[in-house]
């Protein structure tokens, strides 16, 4: 595990962007990147947009969303992909052919598709205060799961509903890469910013490997880089 402490959120964002661009620039083959929505990577996407937009020498990069919360009606694209479009794909003008979509219809073929595409070169993850990453919340998936559908009980529905203007769109299930799908990536890049993540990062760093804190498995990966700012890393 490589553990990097950035001075602040701006440096964390710059460093994450450089690491992701590094994955793109140092390989001549197709590059497959799974990326995260959420608030932590906003600064990274701003910087990535500048570095990537209009650069046709980055056409060999393919992007994968790693979870999806669909609209119950199915009338529009799900929450994750919509967020990624807003944060990155649209401002960076990423071509549609470079966007590899995971959704509730194709999730059962997703691990095989990724393998056939050559595997994930890197996956960029955030972490929740409860230790979740992608859609792997405590109590939803087991370490042994590959990409899967997670049924939403009342607890999960309450967590998810905030994503929807119309609560009637709150779905009965969502899909996510499971822990084994994530561990199959060649490089895991985990980002955490802010004092509100400091206890989670303490538990990540020092705590045991347990499904009760899903991200704990990630430190077992042979090639994981963790970037925290000083606030998130203050308890280490």
If one asks whether residue 148 binds a copy of itself (CB under 8 A), the answer comes out as no
Write the interaction track for a copy of itself spanning residues 67-106; mark x where CB under 8 A is met and - where it is not.
----------------------------------------
Distance CA 131, CA 212 (A): 8
Cβ–Cβ < 8 Å for 192, 231: no
Distance CA 235, CA 202 (A): 6
Among 8, 10, 22, 158, binds a copy of itself (CB under 8 A): 22
Among 19, 69, 94, 124, binds a copy of itself (CB under 8 A): 19
Among 24, 34, 177, 228, binds a copy of itself (CB under 8 A): 24
Using CB under 8 A, which of the segments 26-34, 79-87, 149-157, 228-236 binds a copy of itself?
26-34
Distance CA 110, CA 71 (A): 20
Write the interaction track for a copy of itself spanning residues 212-231; mark x where CB under 8 A is met and - where it is not.
-----x-xxxxx-x------
Cβ-Cβ contacts under 8 Å for 162 (sequence gap 6 or more): none
Nearest-approach distance from CB 18 to a copy of itself, in angstroms: 5
Of the pair 70, 214, the CB lying nearest a copy of itself is at 214
Distance CA 193, CA 212 (A): 22
Among 9, 12, 13, 23, binds a copy of itself (CB under 8 A): 23
Of the pair 159, 212, the CB lying nearest a copy of itself is at 212
Of the pair 47, 197, the CB lying nearest a copy of itself is at 47
If one asks whether residue 113 binds a copy of itself (CB under 8 A), the answer comes out as no
Q: What per-residue string of b and e applies to 22-52 under the rule 16 or more CB within 10 Å gives b? A: ebbeeeeeebbbbbbbeebbebbbbbbbeeb
The phi and psi torsions of 212 (rounded to 5 degrees) equal: -70, -20
Distance CA 77, CA 105 (A): 12
Nearest 5°: CA angle at 143, between 71 and 225?
A: 90
Other CB atoms within 10 A of residue 104 CB: 18
Interacting residues toward a copy of itself by CB under 8 A: 2, 4, 15, 18-19, 21-26, 28-30, 51, 57, 115-116, 118-119, 122, 142-144, 179-180, 183-187, 208-209, 211, 217, 219-223, 225
């Amino acid at each position: 595990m490589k553990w990097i402490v950035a001075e602040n959120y701006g440096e964390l964002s710059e460093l994450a962007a450089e690491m992701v661009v590094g994955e793109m620039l140092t390989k001549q083959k197709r590059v497959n990147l799974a990326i995260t929505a959420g608030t932590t990577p906003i600064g990274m996407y701003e910087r990535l947009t500048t570095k990537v937009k209009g650069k046709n020498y980055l056409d060999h990069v393919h992007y994968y969303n790693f979870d999806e919360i669909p609209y119950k009606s199915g009338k529009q694209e799900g929450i994750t992909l919509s967020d990624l479009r807003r944060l990155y794909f649209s401002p960076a003008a990423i071509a549609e052919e470079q966007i590899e979509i995971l959704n509730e219809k194709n999730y059962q073929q997703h691990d095989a598709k990724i393998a056939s595409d050559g595997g994930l070169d890197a996956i960029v993850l955030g972490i929740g205060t409860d230790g979740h990453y992608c859609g792997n919340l405590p109590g939803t998936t087991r370490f042994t799961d590959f990409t899967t559908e997670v049924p939403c009980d009342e607890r999960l529905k309450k967590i998810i509903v905030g994503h929807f203007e119309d609560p009637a769109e709150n779905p009965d299930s969502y899909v996510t890469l499971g822990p084994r799908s994530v561990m199959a990536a060649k490089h895991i890049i985990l980002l955490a910013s802010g004092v509100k993540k400091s206890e989670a990062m303490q538990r990540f760093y020092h705590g045991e490997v347990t499904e009760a804190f899903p991200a704990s498995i990630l430190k077992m990966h042979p090639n994981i880089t963790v970037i925290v700012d000083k606030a998130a890393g203050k308890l280490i």
